[in-house]
Amino acid sequence: MKTVIEIFESMKDILSNEINGKKIYDKDLAKSLDINHLTLATMKKRGRVPYDKILDFCAKRKISINWLLYDQVIDSIRDETEKYARIRYFSDIYASAGGGAENYDENSQYINIDEKIIQKLNIGGNNIKHIEAINVIGESMEPTLKEGNVVFIDKSNKDIQKGGIYILLTQNGLFIKRVLCKIDGSCDIISDNPSYPVENIPSGFFEVVGKAVGLLSKL
């Protein structure tokens, strides 16, 4: 994979091409990624890659993330498809770790992710065609999940009896929580942040979208 400096330079070239070759500075790149320019400088110094921001950057421009991270061209990806995962990413959809968030719509992009990233996300054992990616908003699932994380959902796994973190569709929007089923069919939705109380959703008032199986962290 490219170094973080090489990745940022490629992104600056893309931005430059969008404005007829005008020189792009780090502050311009930071603005396009919606981060502070000092945060960008820290990332460069520490070699940290802001995967969630890069996913948004690529999705908005319909750019292959493999090309940006690995210089892997699309034709080569087609020749070695077993090495890549094509995942549907809803860049405008947020599962709330606090109050209810926006629901699913059809505004999505497909992103190609290298097997090395898939291995790091620990989702390689799942049937990849059922994996989708959305964003997290809110702080109630901290420290496990933080606002700005990109979460990967296995939509084929809806068995909340087995425990874990699930995405629930309710009348108030999408929630990402731990779930505990009750005898009466209702479910307690539990936050990892102890500052947030347990809430109960009656049976018939929620739908399980899928289980959270991996994430890209906001740095």
Domains detected in the chain: 72-216 (2.10.109.10)
Among candidate residues 184, 100, 105, 166, the one with its CA nearest the CA of residue 137: 100
Say whether pLDDT at 62 is over 80: no
pLDDT range class, residue 73, cuts 50, 70, 90: low
Tell me the pTM: 0.59
- Label residue 155 exposed, middle or buried (CB < 10 Å: 0-12, 13-18, 19+): middle
pLDDT range class, residue 100, cuts 50, 70, 90: very low
Contact 72, 65 (CB under 8 A): no
